[in-house]
Structure 1
Amino acid sequence: MAGHFHINTPLLESTGMSKRMGTTVYLKMENSQPSGSFKIRGIGHLCQKVLATQSKGVVCSSGGNAGMAAAYVARKMCVPATIIVPSSSPQLVVQRLQDQGATVRIVGKVWDDANTEALRLADVEGLTYVPPFDHPLLWEGHASMITEVACSLGQGVKPGAVVVSVGGGGLLCGVVQGLMSVGWVDVPVLAMETMGADCFNAAIKAGKVITLDDITSEAKCLGAKTVSEKAFEYSQSKELNIISELVTDQEALHAVEAFLDEERVLVEMACGAALASVYSGVINRIQKEGRLPLSLGPVVIIVCGGSSVDMQQLSLLRQKLQG
């Protein structure tokens, strides 16, 4: 891993998705990171920069993936980790965090509640607070995936669009900064959310950052009630082309199931939101509306991964969403 905690993940061509799209679809397989998601890039980078050798430990609030990354990095750096998760997190997330050696506390109903407790603990117990999505060092770390995409595609090949799921906006900020660093500022970014966990889309509609009343989506890992200021700032930039789109929970779940069938990979519903851009025809619709060219270069989907899913959890989601 040469001085950092993440790995250079594969960029795989999906024949099934390419056939649906009528253009090549590449999958950036962040699900294959040691912690199960892209979060390890930013959190590993941040911890290396801010964590003193004599640290009392780290504390992180998380619906799952940021916590897994923080717990993994802390274990590798031999410091204690306390992860605060909301009650909406599946039991398997708690178990996986404990397997990484972390102390897990369940606080509140949604991530925002857990985050309040994490900040309190950092203050009271002198722990190093690891933010899950809203910090420049996180975005700097996440940007590395676009550098890898550029290397994998080779000189002279530029994506027609990059597709990301948006929760708090950390991945989006990292992708935008990555595009800037490789000279791809003009590449459109399709920012996907599920209805009921749509703080980014709501901010764009309101023309300012707003806080959702509640998270009603089953895509719990997209469950921040307020998007980061930086993500909103990017959405307003005249130099960037960020397209915000929503899908239903049912569409995200369908995408997870189709992806499992076609690619033999199980990801969580938060990741399903990005995959639904192809499986539910969102990109094709945007092309017909003239917001993306009909003749589109290769589409890169960030398969952000997810630690909060297994076959039992998938079965529970089916029961809830398909009645």
Structure 2
Amino acid sequence: MISTSDVERAAARIAGRVRRTPVFAADEGVWFKLEQLQHTGSFKARGAFNRILAAGDPPSAGVVAASGGNAGLAVAYAAREFGLPARVYVPVTAPAVKVAKLRALGAAVELVGEKYADAYDAAVKHAANSGALFCHAYDQPEICAGQGTIGLELLEQADDLDTILVAVGGGGLLAGIAAAVEGRARVVGVEPRTAPTLNAALAAGEPVPVEVSGVAADSLGATRLGDIAFAVATRTDAGSVLVDDSAIVEARAALWDRYRLALEPGGATAFAALLSGAYRPAPGERVAVLLCGANTDPATLTSPSGAPPAARTPR
């Protein structure tokens, strides 16, 4: 469990090590938070820095993580900043662009299994055997609190927000932001219909395993919601909506065609909820959409037809 005060301490701890990413008004009552401009192309750097700094003196064995790509990139980047060795376990399905970036950051990369769970098991074993500091992709208090610093920034950058739309995989981002803005704004998790960890957990009353597939599985491919995310989501009454893969593809193309914003599918998922109508704001509701990942192949950004999607307001 984490609270607003945990997020505030994380913000003080990582100050000067991460970027304060911009916000702009995309439409009447709708703001985009451009977290894809963070170090390593996703919000994950916030949690990685907080985890390492909160641990005090890191072990000589360095750090280890399991990741579909983005969490590993963040851990590798933070480790490099501290002069620490990093080992990252990724499933063989991880995008080549992310694997190449991991190696460019100096991490030792191990390809294991086809799912995040396979890489996770291998990373935990390595941590136990080597003494390396294990950095969970989404279910550690320090990781969640670090990600939540986005919420504190948003409250300062966009006045009187009612709702923040956040993509959900394992839920560390949602947990952190919901804790940060508790009592001041509501967080709604947006998930691919093909990877519904939050939706399934809320329906079951506890985190449960789900089958994972689809266009955003490399970054939203956790097979179970984290315990911290479930606790915070239920405490703060976080919402949940599902979107089809086709809506994610369209949202990603629209972000490029209309705004020249390059997002990976997982990073565009929150916007897909608005664009498709899966989330419909009430009259006068003020909504922030978190755009959270840019590690993608630019050649795939254009819409499948080669033409921009039909103009349509995201409301």
Q: TM bucket by the smaller chain?
A: 0.7 to 0.9
Following TM superposition, by how much is the alpha carbon of 1:2 offset from its aligned partner in structure 2, in angstroms?
7.7
> Which residue does the alignment assign to 1:218?
215
> Which residue does the alignment assign to 1:106?
111
> Which residue does the alignment assign to 1:249?
245
> Which residue does the alignment assign to 1:200?
198
> Which residue does the alignment assign to 2:292?
304
Partner SS for 2:284: coil
Following TM superposition, by how much is the alpha carbon of 1:35 offset from its aligned partner in structure 2, in angstroms?
1.2
> Which residue does the alignment assign to 1:233?
231
Residue from 237, 242, 256 that aligns with 1:260: 256
Q: Matches of 1:76 and 1:106 in 2, distance apart?
A: 24
CA contact (8 A) 1:139 1:177 kept: no
1:37-96 Cα deviation digits (max 9, x unpaired): 111111111111115255211110001110010010011100111111111111111101
Following TM superposition, by how much is the alpha carbon of 1:160 offset from its aligned partner in structure 2, in angstroms?
2.0
- Residue 297 of structure 2 aligns with an amino acid whose one-letter code is D
Q: Matches of 2:245 and 2:134 in 1, distance apart?
A: 31
Partner SS for 1:26: strand
Structure 1 residues 28 and 151: CA distance shift in structure 2, 3 A: same
Following TM superposition, by how much is the alpha carbon of 1:270 offset from its aligned partner in structure 2, in angstroms?
0.9
Following TM superposition, by how much is the alpha carbon of 1:234 offset from its aligned partner in structure 2, in angstroms?
2.9
CA contact (8 A) 1:199 1:211 kept: yes
Matches within 5 A, 1:102-181: 102-153=107-158, 157-180=159-182
Q: Matches of 2:164 and 2:15 in 1, distance apart?
A: 28
CA contact (8 A) 2:190 2:269 kept: yes
CA contact (8 A) 1:188 1:242 kept: yes
- Residue 6 of structure 1 aligns with an amino acid whose one-letter code is V
Following TM superposition, by how much is the alpha carbon of 1:170 offset from its aligned partner in structure 2, in angstroms?
0.2
1:180-230 Cα deviation digits (max 9, x unpaired): 3xx51xx22221000111111111122221111x31222121000010112
- Residue 174 of structure 1 aligns with an amino acid whose one-letter code is G
Q: Percent identity?
A: 31
- Residue 44 of structure 2 aligns with an amino acid whose one-letter code is K
CA contact (8 A) 2:178 2:238 kept: no
Q: Matches of 2:209 and 2:14 in 1, distance apart?
A: 40
CA contact (8 A) 1:39 1:69 kept: yes
Partner SS for 2:120: helix
Structure 1 residues 75 and 282: CA distance shift in structure 2, 3 A: same
Report the more deviating stretch, 53-62 or 129-138.
53-62
Following TM superposition, by how much is the alpha carbon of 1:133 offset from its aligned partner in structure 2, in angstroms?
0.5
Give the paired residue count.
292
**What is the TM-score when the length of structure 2 is the normalising length?**
0.87
Q: Matches of 1:3 and 1:74 in 2, distance apart?
A: 17
> Which residue does the alignment assign to 1:190?
188
* Unpaired segments ≥5 residues, structure 2: 1-12, 306-315
Q: Matches of 2:288 and 2:135 in 1, distance apart?
A: 29
1:119-148 Cα deviation digits (max 9, x unpaired): 001111221111110011112212211221
Q: Does 1:9 align with 2:14?
A: no
CA contact (8 A) 1:60 1:132 kept: yes
Q: Matches of 1:125 and 1:71 in 2, distance apart?
A: 17
**What is the TM-score when the length of structure 1 is the normalising length?**
0.85
Q: Matches of 1:232 and 1:3 in 2, distance apart?
A: 27
CA contact (8 A) 1:4 1:45 kept: no
Q: Matches of 1:55 and 1:228 in 2, distance apart?
A: 28
Following TM superposition, by how much is the alpha carbon of 1:233 offset from its aligned partner in structure 2, in angstroms?
2.2
Structure 1 residues 39 and 226: CA distance shift in structure 2, 3 A: same
Partner SS for 1:282: coil
> Which residue does the alignment assign to 1:283?
279
Q: Matches of 1:71 and 1:318 in 2, distance apart?
A: 33
Following TM superposition, by how much is the alpha carbon of 1:312 offset from its aligned partner in structure 2, in angstroms?
3.9
Partner SS for 1:222: coil
Residue from 279, 283, 301 that aligns with 1:294: 283
* Unpaired segments ≥5 residues, structure 1: 288-292
Q: Matches of 1:165 and 1:304 in 2, distance apart?
A: 8
- Residue 11 of structure 1 aligns with an amino acid whose one-letter code is V
